[in-house]
């Protein structure tokens, strides 16, 4: 039977149904120069790893795609630097005894209580909050 091999170029190869996947890889190596250990074969969306062509469901005039495994490679852009800044920044301990300033509704409530609710009427002229006179 004849099958089509799609690699860098297309080839029409004469094989038997009892031909193993390993022998087909050797044929690819002879035709394309790609090492048999570095290539993988795909037919009808399934990876061909072992067994004969008939066991893998390859019939006459089927197409087998040949792919080449690539090792390593460079990671692009921000993925290479992910988490780098956080790892380089030293941990600073919290200061003890220092309270966080109140903000928003809580700050306004405290301001209202200080100005209008907890006012003790004193004798004489009312002084401002920054007055140092006694």
pLDDT in tens, 68-91: 887 776 666 666 666 677 777 788
Q: What is the mean pLDDT of residues 31-41?
A: 88
Q: Is the pLDDT of residue 47 over 80?
A: yes
The whole-number pLDDT of residue 79 equals: 63
Does residue 96 or residue 102 have the better pLDDT? 102
pLDDT category at 118 given cuts 50, 70, 90 is: confident
From its phi and psi, is residue 103 left (phi > 0), alpha (psi between -120 and 50) or beta?
beta
Threshold 0.85, pTM exceeds: no
The span from the CA of 69 to the CA of 103, in Å, is: 59
């Amino acid at each position: 039977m004849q099958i089509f091999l799609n690699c860098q170029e297309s080839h029409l190869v004469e094989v038997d149904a009892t031909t193993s996947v390993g022998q087909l890889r050797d044929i690819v190596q002879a035709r394309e120069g790609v090492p048999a250990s570095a290539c993988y074969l795909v037919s009808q969306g399934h990876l061909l790893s072992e067994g004969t062509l008939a066991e893998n469901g390859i019939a006459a005039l089927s197409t087998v795609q040949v792919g080449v495994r690539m090792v390593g490679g460079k990671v692009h852009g921000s993925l290479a630097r992910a988490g780098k800044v956080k790892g380089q920044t030293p941990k600073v301990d919290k200061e003890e005894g220092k309270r966080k300033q109140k903000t928003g509704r809580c700050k306004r409530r405290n301001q209202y209580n200080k100005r209008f609710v907890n006012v003790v009427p004193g004798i004489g002229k009312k002084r401002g909050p920054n007055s140092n006179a006694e």
